[in-house]
Structure 1
């Protein structure tokens, strides 16, 4: 029997099962008409405007047409078939705004570019009184509330830069109005928040946020999500905010690959945040910026800015509350060294916690491990070889003390390991490194740096372990502590498999 999850720093929230789990299970179901597979896809297609909701009854032709339109907007091969790729895309985190009419509007926009004529972007309005644009160029905004584990200062920065993205390429000017009233209001809610049943948030994953077209001027975000500014774990608040701002300005979803207004969540990378289609769409509504030269911000510059701001915020937060911010919110990774000192990693910094409970930090990662990137996803110290192991994306770093070993970083695929692990730890009873990723786990032989035969295996081998853990502490006696958000588990046992 698994033990009750406990909260080491603050009371946690009950965790919900994401819809992706349901769809993953359904991939093995029958694909015949009337099956649960088709039924769930029908609900999704109704929810996002591809099918009408009258009586929830649809002909085969209607289903095929809706699937084709969904595949087109999602940049998938247009087959009209409810294949595994299409179902997987339906389960990806996305915006809650309907896709209805996006295909026609995009075609009109492209036609206007080639013909040189102004586009008459008339939409299928979701409500008869909704307008398609603001009839002024100076707009105000207000942040009503913000996630518990992020400071107001960092949220204000992310929101300000998100608005700046659009003002840099259009004739719009934005100004924060903290005390209100404001044209655009941004707020975080959980579950049903009086927007109607179809707009109720669904917990982690699934729908991340939604917004309303002018002139209601509201953008709502799911409080249950893990919002971040730098890390891979969770969803980047800046990127989602910038997308929802686009809707509040009157923009619909885009089918262009890498467009900010694509309906599906996009990570903050090195490339330009706004695509040509995003810029054309906003300029057709509000004209070009003064000087007629749009300024496009690359993701790597924004990432560096947010990282620097977060570091200063972590210092200020500790000085203000006297409590490390990792204890007030979430962290990226956690491990323990040979002296039983716990190291907690978040963004570009880390804290140390002595066996007696004394905490120090935050300290810059690169000050101790030169060349290590920020926002690592998993970390572990191995008493077997007294080395540090760090994982992020497709690569693994190994350090002897503070010196990067020759030949590192290495690609995870070369060792047979998955990308983006949830957590990693050295497990003494096995004598190997263990990596958790989703519903499976891998075992890495540290002498050969190859995955052990017959792995990965199902996570159910570990009794009482939840999916999506973001850190683990393994004691020499085999006792294991697993962390997810603000809670931790101590599983009673693990079946050692030969």
Structure 2
């Protein structure tokens, strides 16, 4: 149209050719501008949010919108929904409009970790805390402050004291203990650094992002922006202790909380002289590690299961041939058991434990076989259900006076249930039967509301007639039916169908470590950042292709190693520590984490780059105006 006005004597074909040339020239110019913005970064500053474009970049960065869609046009509804979700999470009035109070909150100092919120209708409820999905497998952890803030180079002891105090707040409510080490390997490395500091997530200078930390499965390290005005016991500046306590929550496995006054809320809270953990924070960390027991409450300590003698007569069914189960639970000492017929198995992180199956009658005195469901409460009590009766155990010892009728101990719950478990989303017990479920809360009278039963379809993606359900050590909910299992996303409130591979998955391969006849592996050469490895700059790393449990990372073809992805392109490997070996468990989508693992690890980064977004947008508009309209007339 524009060309036609300038040169009306040209033919349609000539106009077409001229337009094509202009498109190529314009595209070349835009790409030059774009890639000039993608040169190795030495320092990146986050601009304050002032417009919808800035808000969209903010929402992408912190998990409210899909970053992979940065170069595409985003619908107004998608953007509005993301704004609403941010406003909900921040405790603001949910308008879906970028108003002044929303802009102020987006420009507030905060943690650099994503908020990891969901976008479904059910996710809009006020959720208490978020469990990231990984935890440390040990309770005695070590740490070191390898780089101190510039301001405190001559006062390192003061920083040591503040960091130790931050750790203490978490150890006071859990069985965890923390030891500072000056040399040698540690579990959590703490550094005060500036701008680009080697992990692909540069700091932005004073204000905005204060710090970020990695979850246990990614190494647990915590980084603080050295350019912040760090202070101790002062209302001025940014308080070292409070930010450290928050970041160490991430290092232990906690995500951000939507409870505004909790420590794990993403936004920085002013200095509090009499700081205490919020109940929301305590519930969250105890959901991962349990409560701290002292000498004054020995009765509450988890009892050790009695030693098991060999059971040569326990030839039971082969779970690799038929992986369906009757029930599953994780008892108070952290052991996971599955039950089927008259036998049971112990499940470990790398499959079924040696010495199993065993007869239920041999070890669980008084407990029958062919169970309907098993449920373990936070107090360590485990309930077994069959028909119209239930049995109560503490670990593997039955309490006196059992069995009892379900109608007396669990009023409102039907007989012959299919499954039962405690959901981490609210700490309530849920019972399933057929296509319905019931919620049980012993603190209420009656314990089952008149609103129940409700249809199982409310649990988006779950089938009817499930066989078992439980919360595993990562805090996630798992449901079993037939030969398959489902991982339930407690934030999005739906089955994780977007995982790679998607759910449901095969129980035999992923939980029982059964060897698939057609097992194949694919090799990826993942380049690692210099200095991350014990030796050399890079190693070939073998990653399973998602159809088996054999997804341990190898620094060579001979022995397992620590392999913790710091992001999609970085791999930290420790060849000497077998305990930190990562397994292809259901909670770890290793293949997905490394799907772009061959990408170079330099600071060449364009994601969420506003120039890049604008470039693609201009190219799209240019094509539409100068070429697309004429083409559209012909189609």
Provide the TM-score with structure 1 as the length reference.
0.47
**TM-score after normalising by structure 2:** 0.37
